[in-house]
Structure 1
Amino acid sequence: MGEFDLIRRYFQRPAGVGVEVGVGDDCAVLAPTPGARWLVSSDMLVEGRHFLSTVDPARLGHKALAVNLSDLAACGATPRGFTLALALPRVDDAWLAGLSRGLFALADAHACPLVGGDTTQGPLNLCITVFGEALAGQALLRSGARVGDDIWVSGRLGDARLALEVFRGAVALAGDGFTQVRAAMECPTPRVALGQALRGIATAVIDVSDGLLGDLGHILAASGVGARIDVDALPRSAVLAAQAAGLQRVCVLAGGDDYELVFTAPPQARLPDVGVPLTRIGCIEAEPGLRVVDAHGAAVDHGLRSFDHFAS
């Protein structure tokens, strides 16, 4: 099978709403909504770095798009389309069918069509660039947190990191518990509806991709503020709560791959109900830095930091 046959068989579909020209030409032609601004983000998934070779291809297709949609969610954007750059060591029909099935199931759920991209032979690598829209002045950013704001997080933290520890052989977990945390790692849910509902409410937002400590730290740096968070308040599953306290803290504070939204909002803010649990985990303070305490207010000396691809 040649490159263009591969594209036609697995990735070419009718153009979506707002797409004048999609897959099959030199460029996609998108029609922006009057008064809106484009929001654009790219994420790359590399085999052995971001995913295991044993991952189900449908889940890989889902996750490749999900991590990008999560960036749009953090900005309160409406998805409009995406491109896919795919490097493959070889053509495997069954694998490609699974990948495209998982990819398009999530794309269809968010009305976000594939509009172009590239394929080549090489080590397995997926790079997606996603396009979203928000009306002028409505995009959520990292830079608006104010002293006195509450800090909230959606969903639960830490299950993806727990799954990674199982794959590393550091933790023994079987049955339904392992099934649950593996799904969190391989098939995250981008909080697109929540991000859109937070427009005009949240003062700053980021998605938790590299770990809460580092990602919340980006909000603090961009906003010029500090914060205090309660490690015991961080939401976690019953599976994670059954693990040793030290492992729990590693997973919820520095685990990453959660793709939940952490955001700040004034104490009097009325938060939206979009069917996603929201947990207050701390508050914004004037003193620079991020302070971690326990449920009794005692400082927690954790010695943790979030994931960094190039940290020494």
Structure 2
Amino acid sequence: MNGQDAEALKARLPQTVAGRTRSLRLSDGRATLVLDATGLAAAAREALEADARAALAGMPGVADVRVAMMADKVARRIIAVASGKGGVGKSTVSANLAVALARQGRKVGLVDADIYGPSQARLLGAEGMKPKARDSKLEPVATAWGVPVLSMGQLSDPGQSIAWRGPMAAGALTQMLEGHWDDCDVLVVDLPPGTGDIQLTMLQKFKPAGAVIVSTPQDLALIDATRAMELFDKSQVPVIGVVENMAGYACPHCGEVSDPFGSGGAEAVAGQRGVPFLGRIPLDMAIRLESDAGTPPAAGDAPQGQAFRALAQRVGEWLDRGAAA
């Protein structure tokens, strides 16, 4: 068989497979396909290979299929999680997003850039664990959930007030982002509220691959979330989408669902801005209790973690599309 036969086979492959095909050879009825798996999690790699095998096995002249997977090392990608306003649950969303992405088989790290109000050490059960330095750089602290973390909560005494001017806070962010994240392909960065020095340092020195915006359905929160989106737009950082947190409260006694912060506001803003809506996360007592205990709901299979796992699925798909582009 000649190269023209292989090209004819490639033209009949599904686009998801053809777009990642590095080479395809056909000889004596054996199709040998090399696929680019750069940036794909384990489950996505397996699905890609299965699709390729199924497609080729059904083609005329193909009696045997061999598939090889190759991957280039990709630059670490930063996912910024922002809100524009405090008190909307951004840190809880960041921690559970990182844990759920790690469950997909990705190598994920978490940076707590909320210098003045760090909470990730507690959310991930890493309180009291001090990072060590190697070659003048910080070593992230390993956690039980497969997500290493660096936070000012680990670098300061519990309850200590951090009264730093902007340049000092920006310096702390730089120190954490330039730590030893050697094994991480993705860094989730929990940004502080607002659009100040820390956000500007992040955008100028460590440009994120994309941003996730967290808001409650309340109008006041949505106004500030819109400001955060505007900042990322001006910096040419794509907004991956908007999450509506604290969306609906189910009474533990009667099961009736109420909306203390309103409903649908974040989804409406996403539509107005032309960005994806990534889903709703309920106002759930179990989420609060597990978070306070350092046990991220996304780490298990309980229902209260499902919304976070669904969010991570959408963000993971966005990461995979970017890797394939």
Question: Normalized against structure 1, the TM-score is what?
Answer: 0.22
Report 1 or 2 for greater relative contact order, CA contacts < 8 Å, sequence distance ≥ 6: 1
More helix by share: 2
Q: Which has the larger radius of gyration?
A: 2
Question: Normalized against structure 2, the TM-score is what?
Answer: 0.21
